Structure 1
Amino acid sequence: MQCATVDVPRDYAAPGKGTVKVALARIPATDRKNRIGSLLLNFGGPGAPGAASLADSAKFFADLGERYDLIGFDPRGVGHSEPVSCGGPQQADEEAIPDAAALLAALRALARRCELASGPVLPYIGTENVSRDMDVIRRVLGDEKLNYLGFSYGARLGAVYAAQFPGSTGRMVLDGVDTLTAPLAERALVSTRAQQRALDNFLSWCAHQQDCVYGTNTRTAKEKVAALVTRLDEEPLVGEDGTYLTGQVAAVAMGNALYSQQTWPALAEALASAERDRDPAGLLQLSGPLIPPPDDEDQDAGPGTVPADNALAALAAVNCADDPDRSRDKADPAVVEQELLDMEGEFLKASEIFGPRQLMTVLACYGRPAGTDFIRKINHPGAPRMLLIGTRGDPATPYEWTEETAERLGSAVIVDHKGEGHTAYAASSCVKEYVDHFLLDGRLPSGTRSCPAEE
């Protein structure tokens, strides 16, 4: 793998403000004689470093890597491309805050701390500018068209590129398609329903396994899982290292495990341990590191160091920059509190397990400036036909977003994957065949095609 950096304008509207160094990685095509060009990949997030992800998954893309130079990149603000940071934890301790006014003040203070810790790149983070960076990368690589494979957030990024640079869009595949239009509250509600649908599918699978802790009745299984989350919020389990398993941490663990059907057996075992043995270890392991470890030393470690909280900081920064509804306006706390109370019933109806946490994401960007409205206005951009992959059981990017985005792009073919998990290229040989044929041979079917679930 070859590594490099490319300088791009920090502010495309005012190039004199300076540049951002974007980190690139390239694995040259193995069949140089039949090389097509470069294939740019984005592995999702936002906040996932593309260079490291390419190194980790190079063998998986070997078929495409015969005729394409595989290109990974760290988007601006991510990884080794001038990483942003919030200088510590990014979640306000809601239980320790007495009222709505104090919570909103804490969120404003957090947003200000992110500004100070991130430096001059933070105001110029966002998909619109990353898309422009991709076109600079295309030209630096010497490609007439951008050939692209994007997963999850990478699908949003690909769609924005096609809208900004339709004449430079080559063969483009978007897997796990993000929404381009939904306001924040609607997006959170649709995500809640998608997570609950994926959990229901998991419980149906569990009911057919030997020794499922919830038995064979899927209706009562849903009730028992919800009861577990409620019980853990009232009386958390304590791990051997003193870590608490609350209901909300258990919900995070379940949400993480639903991203891939390969993780379902581990989730079944973790739930059984919590229910039968009051052992939180399995769910705590699936929940992952919710808050980065203290990183004071990392912050001062010098050039080339990626702050420990970079992935979370970039996730928030990009999502905020992409949404025009989120603003810096200091809304009256009583009004904000009432808006949340008005939405609470609908979120709980969608999912008692995932609804409360998703509802609080409505405040994720409080205190930050409003984002761009460009993405929401994308409509039939004139790009060539592209391939969109949607998975019916996807907990993160529900299938309806695939159909919605296809309509907005106006030139897309859909592969309807009937399986489970988030994104399908790695999970379905049928999907992989469609993708590889299109990227390697330019073959693209018409209409919507279907791929079955695979065991």
Structure 2
Amino acid sequence: MSAPELTPWPDDQDGPRRRSPWKRWVLVIGVVLVIVGLVVSLTGVWQLLQPTVQRPTEVELELPAKPVGGAYGEQTPKWTDCGEGFECADVRAPLDWDDPEGETIRLRMVKHPATSGEPLGTLFVNPGGPGASGADFVRNALDSAAGAPLQRSFDVVGWDPRGVGASSPVTCLDAQDMDEYLFGVSDSTAERGSAKWIEEAEASSRRFGEACLENTGELLGHVDTVSTVRDLDMLREIQGDEQLNYLGYSYGTHIGARYAEMFPEKVGRLVLDGVLDPTASEADVVKEQTRGFELALRSYAEACLATKDCPLSGTVDEAMAQIGDLLDDVDEHPIVAADGRTLTASTMLTAIITPLYSESNWGYLNSLFETVAEGNADVAFSLADSYYGRLDGEYLDNSTEAFQAINCLDYPNSIDPERMREQAAELERIAPTIGRFQGFGDVSCAGWPVKGVQERMAVQAAGADPILVIGTTGDPATPYRWAEALSEQLESGVLVRFEGEGHTAYGQSGCVNDLVERYFIEGEVPASGATCS
């Protein structure tokens, strides 16, 4: 399948895992899903989605024998050539770390050996999510995962966290039912936010959760982040590294921060880029991300209006009102696409948010707004499909299912209708264009069959070596203030400020690249508060 004909961001410009089960219920943006394609670019997404691309998830690998006495770190991976200089291996981890003698699960790793032939050690990378494949990230987007200096100096390893991809996966629905869950149109007439509307939304989420439990089994209750952190420490030991070297993006920063809190003495060189605040509640996350994407959309509108081919007009406020009117129109009058799916405000918002992760992708919004205004939903679905990893009616990964399963363990699953209504009103106030479609997300986990197991607690990592915390001032998904918060919580946090747009900074700025690479390779720690632009 070739990429759609989308208008690129014009050269003459003067300016610079949200989930949605049914019409009129857009689940909150939530903890951001950063898949490989969004780290690279939307063009990268389409390249990665081509069936000809090697995907580690398709390789059958042999597992080591079950460790004796729970000594999982003593496993010897059976590395297999998986093409173009990459090696793949599977290892075991206990299903339940509190019962290491019990059932085991599979974890997939992909390694790119150091090009120098003399590695300083292993550099583990994670692209975010929750639910993104670290194995595919390294195999198909190595240059985005780690620059050439890091590739020379380290064995770069990505892994699929438990519940994800080629590791023992969360499995919920087949492709047809997933289409219905994500894009189906409800015939309900209940008013958004009413008791009946909340009841119907909760029932939809409960049905999805029940399908996940039926098809995944006991694993569904053990895909929380803390279990993944313990897996990561096991992988470090398997690789023979005394301390962990780690580069985590977005949700991957949460894995890294929790690792530092649990194993401070094993922290080597950690870089956390596009930071989540470990203390942020789900409501906090939704509020800040809604605000962030509204501001990013305003920045796009301002830049667009400075070009001659912008589909918007007038002032920035007027342009934002035009986008809001388009969302409202789609909400009231959904558009049927060429493949028969119906574009609702939910999917339209996914299509809007997807290009906002990177300033280089803002031009896709021109094509989106032009075509939707003409009653054509195909570009909107192309963008939404790139977000969900969908190609020709099939889902190439289980990121959507893993996203919800992990979040529902990492956040409390309780529901308070009055509180949700107050929060929904606040979202509409702080984000007049998109906020009214962002409320009532607590419903997504309220009927989940497995109770949340984590608390949102600050991390200190007392005694850990210096940890680099990178924040981007115009990041719509993980606002800069979260990087400030985490660097203050960490006893050894070192804040790096990137003045720019988009989600994550490494790979976007030569200044940031230099700081990160000197830190990993030479151990040079920048002054806290160092600024790049």
- TM-score, normalised by the number of residues in structure 1: 0.89
Of 90, 107, 127 in structure 1, the residue corresponding to residue 205 of structure 2 is: 107
Q: 1-side partners of 2:391 and 2:475: how far apart?
A: 33
Match of 1:96 among 169, 183, 187: 187
**2:375 is the counterpart of 1:317:** no
Provide the rounded CA distance (Å) in 1 between the counterparts of 2:366 and 2:519.
Answer: 37
Instruction: Give the superposition deviation at 1:159.
Output: 0.4
Secondary structure of the residue aligned to 2:440 is: helix
- CA distance, structure 1, for counterparts of residue 306 and residue 392 of structure 2: 45
| Structure number having the greater helix percentage | 1
Letter matched to residue 430 of structure 1 = C
What is the alpha-carbon distance in structure 2 between the residues aligned to residue 140 and residue 391 of structure 1? 34
Structure 1: any 5+ residue segments left out of the alignment?
299-306
SS at match of 2:155: strand
Change (3 A) 1:380 1:58: closer
Partner residue of 2:133?
49
Structure 1 residues 353, 117: CA separation in 2 closer, same or farther (over 3 Å shift)?
A: farther
Alpha-carbon distance between aligned partners in 1 of 2:441 and 2:224, rounded to the nearest angstrom: 18
Cα pair 2:331 2:344 within 8 Å, conserved:
yes
Where do 1:115-264 residues align within 5 Å?
115-264=213-362
Question: Quick one: distance in 2 between partners of 1:58 and 1:283?
Answer: 28
For 1:196 and 1:378, how far apart are their aligned partners in 2? 29
Q: Percent identity?
A: 33
| Structure 1 residues 209-249: Cα deviation after superposition (integer angstroms, max 9, x where no partner) | 12212235212111111111111211233333333333332
Aligned to 2:432, what secondary structure does the other structure show? coil
Deviation beyond 4 Å, 4+ runs, structure 1: 90-94, 289-296
Offset at residue 321 of structure 1 (A)? 1.5
Tell whether the 8 Å contact from 1:175 to 1:425 is kept in structure 2 after alignment.
Answer: yes
Rounded Cα–Cα distance in structure 1 between residues aligned with 2:380 and 2:371: 9
- The 5 A counterparts of 1:375-386 are 375-386=456-467
- What pairs with 1:320-335 in structure 2 (closer than 5 Å)? 320-323=408-411, 325-327=412-414
Equivalent pair of 1:255/1:395 in contact (CA under 8 Å): no
Aligned AA (2:523): G
What SS does the corresponding residue of 2:269 show, helix, strand or coil?
A: strand
Q: 2:164 aligns with which of 78, 84, 93?
A: 78
**Selected match of 2:111 from 26, 29, 32:** 26
**SS of equivalent to 2:494:** strand
CA distance in 2 between partners of 1:230 and 1:201 (Å): 21
Quickly say closer, same or farther: Cα 1:167–1:308, change in 2 above 3 A. Answer: same
C-alpha displacement of 1:13? 1.0
Partner of 1:365: 445
- 2:448 is the counterpart of 1:404: no
Confirm whether residue 337 of structure 1 aligns to residue 417 of structure 2.
yes
1:3 corresponds to: 88
In the alignment, what sits opposite 2:432?
352
Deviation at 1:118, TM superposition (A): 0.8
Q: CA deviation at 1:295?
A: 12
Q: Which runs of 5+ in 2 are unaligned?
A: 1-85, 191-195
The separation in 2 between residues aligned to 1:121 and 1:438, in whole angstroms, is 37
| Residue type at the aligned position of 1:86 | C
Report the Cα distance in structure 2 between the residues aligned to 1:103 and 1:413, rounded to whole angstroms: 42
CA contact (8 A) 1:188 1:362 kept: no
Aligned length in residues: 433
SS at match of 1:269: helix
TM-score for the superposition, normalised by structure 2: 0.76
Distance in 2, matches of 1:410 and 1:358, equals 35
CA 1:24 to 1:288, structure 2 compared with 1: closer, same or farther past 3 Å? same
Give the superposition deviation at 1:374. 5.0
Please give the alpha-carbon distance, in whole angstroms, between the structure 1 residues aligned to 2:454 and 2:114: 38
Report if the CA contact (8 A) 2:425-2:436 is conserved. no
1:295–1:308 Cα contact (<8 Å) kept? no
For residue 24 of structure 1, give the secondary structure of its aligned residue in structure 2.
strand
Shift of 1:388: 1.1
Distance 2:369 2:509 in 1: 27
Question: 1:301: which partner in 2?
Answer: none
**CA separation in 1, counterparts of 2:447 and 2:494?**
39
Q: Does 1:284 find its partner at 2:381?
A: yes
Alignment partners' CA distance in 2, 1:370 and 1:403: 31
Q: Which residue of 2 aligns with 1:66?
A: 152
Distance 2:443 2:200 in 1: 13
Letter in 2 for 1:64: L
Aligned equivalents of 1:400, 1:63: Cα separation in 2: 30
8 Å Cα contact 2:498-2:532 kept in structure 1: yes
Write the letter of the residue equivalent to 2:421.
L
Deviation of residue 96 (structure 1)? 3.4
110-119 vs 195-204, greater mean Cα deviation: 110-119
Q: Give 1:65 deviation, angstroms.
A: 1.0
Q: Which amino acid aligns with 1:389?
A: I
Distance in 1 (alpha carbons) for counterparts of 2:209 and 2:289: 24
1:302 counterpart residue number: none
Asked if structure 2 preserves the Cα contact closer than 8 Å seen for 1:274 and 1:280, the reply is yes
Go from structure 1 to structure 2 and tell me whether the alpha carbon gap of 1:202 and 1:92 turns closer, same or farther (over 3 Å shift).
closer
Q: Which shows bigger deviation, 285-294 or 68-77?
A: 285-294
Query: Does structure 2 retain, via aligned residues, the 8 Å contact 1:92–1:107?
Result: no
- Structure 2 contact 385–391 (Cα < 8 Å) conserved: no
